[in-house]
Structure 1
């Protein structure tokens, strides 16, 4: 199991809408994948199962989309991933040992947005 390395992707406008399914299709096309994921595809996610990295279902917490040909972190995607990490939609099934690292990864994007992740708010 593994948390992806922080990519420090550029941020989209905060009010940009988020459609994870549509973003995934664009990321797949941008990454040049059809049958199996690759490292470019991985960079759009916060977590993946390293034992199953050849399966698209191994990738979780998509936070990026392709905007004008560039992989870009989308604030509403980051917020959706953070909400799931905070228990929304039933949470996410990740190893307990990875949860703090996933939250740290997401918190770095919150810092770029001059905001705090939900788990750090009063």
Structure 2
């Protein structure tokens, strides 16, 4: 598939900063349109409408409109849908939820049943512990005097709510639970526990198909403490770099 859209970016600052960014985005848009015109033979107005509509095209449609010359022989790629609207192609993740009109087959909620391997438990509490609260990963004994097999399913679910991931609900064993970040005594979210969970995520055996949901869950706690998760900061920096490269390429005609 191919998609064309107006230039966009992430930004922060005061009104003057946003006005400047809007002007820069418009400058990039005006530089893009003649390039598409020269390639397709479409008018400026036609290109503008396609950009405004965030137009997605199949290979055949791209050739028909002049955005592509021909359809090459199909090639095998490694691709998977890790969540509704989120897919990985040849190791590169794409978040289609950021777009206005993504292809609907990738957005259906029932895809969760096909691609998720585990469960992100519902938080046992959204209350926050003081930010300087010390943290140590809890043992089962910190929650109960019973053995895991003696617990009811409801008790197991409540304990699971202190963690970021479980293979199923209720969890088969206590050791199946991953990335604790709630205080056992009252369920409060512990800042040091959230940070520890985020740091350990990629070291766990949580299936790749589930890690994005775990990141979203942990990011919500980062936001509670008025911070952004590390991967959110990385995404923002990457997007700014991509926009700068695109602007330089359009203005200079060189690839970077």
* TM-score bucket (shorter structure): 0.7 to 0.9
Instruction: Quote the Cα distance in structure 2 between the aligned partners of 1:111 and 1:16.
Output: 17
Instruction: Quote the Cα distance in structure 1 between the aligned partners of 2:233 and 2:198.
Output: 12
- Give the aligned partner of residue 13 of structure 1: 130
TM-score, length basis structure 1:
0.79
- Give the aligned partner of residue 141 of structure 2: 25
How many pairs does the alignment contain?
112
- Give the aligned partner of residue 178 of structure 2: 60
Alpha carbon RMSD of aligned pairs, Å? 2.1
Deviation string 1:23-72 (CA, Å, 9 cap, x unpaired) is x532x22xx642236111111011011188121111001111134xx211
- Give the aligned partner of residue 40 of structure 1: 158
| Higher RCO structure, 1 or 2 (CA under 8 Å, sep 6+) | 1
- Secondary structure at 1:3 match in 2: coil
Instruction: Quote the Cα distance in structure 2 between the aligned partners of 1:51 and 1:77.
Output: 22
Q: 1:93 aligns with which of 191, 201, 205?
A: 205
Q: Which runs of 5+ in 2 are unaligned?
A: 1-117, 235-256
Instruction: Quote the Cα distance in structure 1 between the aligned partners of 2:212 and 2:146.
Output: 30
Q: Which runs of 5+ in 1 are unaligned?
A: none
Instruction: Extract structure 1 runs of 4+ deviating beyond 2 A.
Output: 5-8, 32-37
Larger Rg: 2
TM-score, length basis structure 2:
0.40
- Secondary structure at 2:148 match in 1: coil
Greater per-residue strand proportion: 1
